Chains A and B, each alone.
Chain A
């Protein structure tokens, strides 16, 4: 059996990064938390798309599943090619780069895919929010407020976001309906 294993890979859990070990086998991707021993297993058939994202000094793996959920792992130090080859060989998936927007703008477009809200600036994603992190969503005039579940494991925890929505857009009722 062919496999890849990485230590000190962090997994995003409600806005904080928990470190653990990531193991890729022929059939599944398994992440085990160092602290709690919690295991996340994703079978390769569940993956709809796999991307890598470049960060400062390391890169991250982004998995979007067929059920609409998003999984993210960070802390890969080596060349992404090794991982990409593994995905291609065993999962028949092309792992492409998903570049992040570094522009620093607060305006863009909000797109929904599965359970994921993504804020895109010029076709590049600036950030993504899983709807499961949202505790409450309110709609006002030209405004959407998202409140998030709090996580005291994170050094700083995101509480609330407000968006200004132009009047012409009707698709923005989606987040409210998602609850």
Chain B
């Protein structure tokens, strides 16, 4: 019924570690956007940690001095949600990761092909892209249901 539709779907990124992409970014502990599984893999103290695109609310990027910053905001209870995003949280009693910020140097070291911050730039662009596609699809599915 209408109630169940409103509950935000608990989408799962990977069923097991075998589905994780074998990309150098994952191994090198950079950010990697997996378009196939619609997941952003973020390095957290040595571990590549997947976050499904549906958990990400918005992202912002800034350049200050020698550094580029990428901030990722996640959906969590207590934040205002627009009607299109809709829905409730299936488990409001859990602890939510709200926000995560990364920093990267803009300058190249000798011998480097690109500056470390190019990873954050690419991630920013790809997250936007995958998010857009995901939202469009969600909206289409909602339309079909109505």
Residues of A whose CB lies within 8 Å of any CB of B are 12, 14-17, 54-57, 60, 72, 74, 100, 102-110, 119, 126-130, 133, 142-143, 150, 152, 154-166, 168-169, 172
Q: How far does the Cβ of A131 sit from chain B's closest Cβ, in whole Å?
A: 11
User: Which residues of chain B come closer than 8 Å to A17, judged between CB atoms?
Assistant: 29, 46
Classify the secondary structure of A's interface with B: strand
Measured in the bound complex, the distance between the Cα atoms of B31 and A48 in whole Å is: 32
Measured in the bound complex, the distance between the Cα atoms of B93 and A108 in whole Å is: 9
Judge whether B98 is part of the interface by a CB distance below 8 angstroms. yes
Count of interface residues, chain B, beta-carbon cutoff 8 Å: 56
Measured in the bound complex, the distance between the Cα atoms of B93 and A172 in whole Å is: 13
Of residues 85 to 117 in B, which have CB atoms within 8 Å of A's CB atoms?
Answer: 89, 91-105, 116
Residues of B whose CB lies within 8 Å of any CB of A are 10-17, 19-22, 26-31, 39, 43-52, 55, 69-70, 74-78, 89, 91-105, 116, 119-120
| Residue contact A107 to B13, C-beta cutoff 8 Å | no
Q: How far does the Cβ of B101 sit from chain A's closest Cβ, in whole Å?
A: 4
Measured in the bound complex, the distance between the Cα atoms of B51 and A79 in whole Å is: 29
| Residue contact A15 to B45, C-beta cutoff 8 Å | yes
Contact A129-B78, Cβ < 8 Å, known A104-B13, A110-B95, A159-B103: no
User: Which residues of chain B come closer than 8 Å to A72, judged between CB atoms?
Assistant: 46
Contact A156-B43, Cβ < 8 Å, known A104-B55, A161-B97, A164-B76: yes
User: Which residues of chain B come closer than 8 Å to A16, judged between CB atoms?
Assistant: 29
**Supplied contacts A104-B11, A106-B75, 7 more A-B pairs, CB within 8 Å:** A12-B46, A55-B48, A104-B51, A106-B51, A129-B45, A155-B104, A157-B104
Measured in the bound complex, the distance between the Cα atoms of B55 and A78 in whole Å is: 35
Interchain residue pairs with CB less than 8 A apart (25): A12-B46, A55-B17, A56-B17, A56-B20, A56-B48, A100-B17, A102-B14, A102-B17, A102-B20, A103-B13, A103-B14, A104-B11, A104-B13, A106-B97, A107-B97, A129-B45, A155-B119, A156-B30, A156-B120, A158-B45, A158-B100, A159-B102, A164-B98, A166-B92, A166-B93
Measured in the bound complex, the distance between the Cα atoms of B102 and A16 in whole Å is: 13
Most buried by A among B48, B95, B101: B95
User: Which residues of chain A come closer than 8 Å to B46, judged between CB atoms?
Assistant: 12, 15, 17, 60, 72, 74
Contact A150-B103, Cβ < 8 Å, known A102-B15, A102-B16, A126-B49: yes
